[in-house]
Structure 1
Amino acid sequence: MLRTLRALGLAVVLAAGMTVATAPSAGADSLTPVGGGSGIIFRLSPTPEAPQSYYICTLTAVGRDATGNLVGLTNAHCFIDDKGNKLVGEKVYLDSSPAGTAAAPAPIPDSRPDLKTGSIGTVTHVSTPNNLLNTGPKGLDYAVIDLDESRVAPTTTVGSVTITSVGAPPANGTRMCEQDHRTGLTCGIKLGTNGIWFNHLISTDGGDSGAPVVNGQTLVGNAFGAQHSSPILSIIDEMNANGGVGAGFHLAS
């Protein structure tokens, strides 16, 4: 198996002969819950039904915009290809593999699209990525996903984290936590700021990109790797300035 790590959004190429197992999901009379911390899978090649390669990341939050659209947020770099193209229009699926823990991360090869639920939404905006480790322009590294309400419903709780509000990062030295699909709940203190981002001692692993960083039940940022995050209030301000899907974002209950 070949694995390529790109700022903790993980690309996976499957060995020949591996197939997708159809995952259990919500019945026809109910919707599949999604929220900050839900695992997502996308860029499934050649098809979602028989992928030989894919990418995995984690949702930051689910909310509504000013026009009532149900939207999800994650990292921008998840949807930028090796040539720098922003993959607006990409279809997104839930990762049907069970979430892991810090002691026992969810195995990357187990990631599969939830085909019973089907595509949960479409990417409508990809911001400037963080470019923390190169000389490119520095961005807030977020992507907006227009979610399909005929398939999914918002939840405030995923794993060990419940998100009820958004706010600014806390004072340096404050303990914060992150809910990842791969590594579950991880925690560490806020260290300080680095330009437009804040940094912390919260560990992340491949596929955890986009995970919500919380202070109690307050969402304060999105994790993008190298123990950095973008402030959620800065992301909301930029979405409002851009207009379109995501503008006027507020948490869905």
Structure 2
Amino acid sequence: MLSAGRARVLRLAAVAAAAVSSTLLFSGPANAAAPVVLGGGSGVYVEDLTDPNSVSECTITAMGYDNKNQLVGLTAGHCGEVGARIAAEYTRSGGIGVITEKDEEMDWAIIVFNPEKVNPTRRVAQSVINSVGAPPQIGENVCKNGRTTGFTCGPVWETRSTFFRSQVCANHGDSGAPVLRGDQLVGMVVAGTDFKAGPISIELPLCTGGGNLIHEPELATNITTVLADIDRHGGAGAGFRVA
């Protein structure tokens, strides 16, 4: 359904200078390690189950609890496969969670976190998530918070039943980033798209950060549609409520 995703793949060998290793990322923190704080906009490393020397960088959409009171996080489905382990980017802390449910069509994934190793938060940098909101309308201004390009805002210029396009700035690694109307979560960043004006499709450059005015539009799924699909699956994440 959706075009090229926003996950970014890292070769562990390429970031060895930052002391990143598969052992450090996924074996789990020491018992005495303080819990990591994660929320919508936090960066995570996702294990690549097909290549032990690679991880994907993605962004948490929101943290919450499901109908079984499991601590769960949402992110984009193309970030990893079921069974992939998760590490917090800013602390390099591994052993904190695993992807247990995903959907290819709607491009979402559910991470079940260890509540002894993760503290959920509603605030990450400038963004606060207090509730889930209805999809935005054309002309509304929305903002996203991603691990690559940070907190950026832009107008919505197209809406559909399951997704919307806007001029929020995003780039690889921002997959899963929450899209917000104020403190309401309304969408999840999943892809970049060409700019379309009627029959004309214009390829624009990727956005490099705040202040970059000319860049390709971003496609986000409606969070209400995503949550309804998660409920339909009936597994981890069903009955999601913001932590």
Q: Is the 8 A contact 1:118 1:151 kept in 2?
A: no
Mapped to 2, the partners of 1:209 and 1:7 lie a distance apart of 7
1:242 matched to 2:208: no
- Residue 69 of structure 2 aligns to which amino acid in structure 1? G
User: In structure 1, what is the equivalent of residue 56 of structure 2?
Assistant: 55
1:31 matched to 2:29: no
Q: Is the 8 A contact 2:77 2:102 kept in 1?
A: yes
Change (3 A) 1:17 1:54: closer
1:66 matched to 2:70: no
Change (3 A) 1:32 1:175: same
Change (3 A) 1:175 1:26: farther
Q: Is the 8 A contact 2:137 2:159 kept in 1?
A: no
- Counting matched residue pairs gives 208
Change (3 A) 1:187 1:27: farther
Change (3 A) 1:92 1:15: closer
Question: How big is the shift at 1:200?
Answer: 0.7
- Residue 7 of structure 1 aligns to which amino acid in structure 2? G
Task: Tell me the percent identity.
Answer: 36
- Whose strand proportion is higher, 1 or 2? 2
Change (3 A) 1:27 1:37: farther
Per-residue deviation, residues 53-85 of structure 1 (Å, max 9, x unmatched): 321000000000011000000000111xxxxxx
Mapped to 2, the partners of 1:16 and 1:234 lie a distance apart of 37
User: In structure 2, what is the equivalent of residue 221 of structure 1?
Assistant: 187
Q: Which stretch has the larger CA shift, 165-174 or 191-200?
A: 191-200
1:82-93 equivalent positions in 2, closer than 5 A: 87-93=81-87
User: In structure 1, what is the equivalent of residue 168 of structure 2?
Assistant: 202
Question: How big is the shift at 1:36?
Answer: 0.4
Q: Is the 8 A contact 1:18 1:52 kept in 2?
A: no
User: In structure 1, what is the equivalent of residue 94 of structure 2?
Assistant: 118
1:21 to 19, 23, 32: 19
Mapped to 2, the partners of 1:36 and 1:17 lie a distance apart of 25
Question: How big is the shift at 1:11?
Answer: 1.0
Q: Is the 8 A contact 2:11 2:54 kept in 1?
A: yes
Change (3 A) 1:45 1:19: farther
